[in-house]
Amino acid sequence: MRIETLSVFPELFEPYMSTSIMGRARAKGIFEFESYDLRDWTHDRHRTVDDAPFGGGAGMLMKVEPLHEAITDISKRGDVSPRVVFFTPCGEPFTQETAERLSQCERILFVCGRYEGMDERAYDLADERLSIGDYVLTGGELPALVVSDAIIRLLPGALGNDMGSVDESFSTADDGGLLEYEQYTRPADFMGKKVPEVLLSGDHAKVDAWRRANALERTCRWRPDLIEHARLTDVERARAAELIEQYHGANAKGADSDVA
């Protein structure tokens, strides 16, 4: 896979992409990365990428001309055109399922906005629009890193252990779509807080059963909205309804055990 970014601050990406899991995966050739400076596609001496919005208003907008020229030029490089991804509040909410889908792409170009946004005509160049949440950031660089991280860790060999990305919260490859179960390491007793005895038993069947029940309980407590689409048995769904009522009241979303 090849990941590329287009930004007015291309230097922000290299430290993260060269560190820890990302750095090791990149060194092993699991993915390639390149960041482009949008100002390289400007033609005035000030390398201008923004201008005042028509109709007035606060702030500046990114100009359509350098974005169009840059994306067109970058897309022609290489044998495969990239999937062009913009970040915007209008975008599809980014989820683990989206990460899994994008991890199948051979090449992706993340276009990072700045200032008050972009000229609307620039979005005509997008293959898709994403949003990582309902809050405001100063630019698209952090969303690009978030999405890149979620994608890269799914690539075979990136984590060292290919099962490492499966048995986790929000993974659609696991056996339920629940939050991950609680985990513990040494010491077994820390200031009177003890690790559950079942995890020390060595009985793998009992451990698996505890982890499943614990994942269900944690999801009902912290993210009951996930229960509606979780893959549960009839017994688990009835138990989920009891737990959600216990934690959130009978009218909480996901409390209806008859929801498929």
pLDDT at 260 over 50: no
Mean pLDDT of 218-242: 96
Q: Taking phi first (over 0 means left), then psi (-120 to 50 degrees means alpha), and beta for anything else, what does residue 203 get?
A: beta
pLDDT at 140 over 90: yes
Reported as type and span, the H/E element at residue 189 is strand 189-190
pLDDT at 150 over 90: yes
* pLDDT score of 163: 46
Is 117:153 a contact under the CB 8 Å cutoff? no
- The whole-model pTM stands at 0.87
Tell me which DSSP letter residue 180 carries: P
pLDDT digits (tens, 9 = 90+) for 183-216: 999 999 999 999 999 999 999 999 999 999 999 9
Pairing of strands 128-131, 83-93: parallel
Mean pLDDT of 88-93: 94
Q: In what order do the strands lie in the sheet with 128-131?
A: 32-37, 2-7, 107-111, 83-93, 128-131
